Amino acid sequence: MKRFGALLLTTLTLTLPTACTNESEVDFEAPVYVTVDSLDGAKVTITKHQPLVVPVGENLDADAWTEGSVDNETVAAFEPGPSFHAVGVGTTSAQLTNPDTGEVYTFTLVAK
């Protein structure tokens, strides 16, 4: 029985790392994090594999942040939560609205 356990453990150890990889998979980079307090007037660089994530703070509900936009939708897109991701290459102005205060944060996204 001990041999079976050792054989199973060895098989899983050798198989799992390769079973979970695929040459066509894309490696995503860690997101760019810019807090709401630092966002207004900022210039943020993102890529198709590295989105901008905006932490809204512990006392605020991230799911309530549903109002955001970009001037050029061929460059980037807004996702509630809130985050922005690159869909192309270029520069665009972006806006994010605080759902509690109505304050609009305007910033520049550079998508590479």
- Specify if 17 maps to a domain: no
Query: Tell me, what's the pLDDT at 26?
Result: 63
In terms of residue numbers, what domain contains 100? 25-111
- Specify if 51 maps to a domain: yes
- Specify if 54 maps to a domain: yes
Number of domains in the chain: 1
Q: Show pLDDT as tens, one digit a residue, over the chain (112 residues).
A: 444 344 334 444 444 444 455 556 667 789 999 999 999 999 999 999 999 999 998 888 999 999 999 999 999 999 999 999 999 999 999 999 999 999 999 999 999 9
* CATH number of the domain enclosing 30: 2.60.40
- Specify if 8 maps to a domain: no
Query: Tell me, what's the pLDDT at 48?
Result: 96
- Specify if 13 maps to a domain: no
Instruction: Give how far Cα 22 sits from Cα of 17, 26, 65, 69, 78, Å.
Output: 10, 9, 35, 34, 29
| H-only helix segments in the chain | 2-19, 36-39
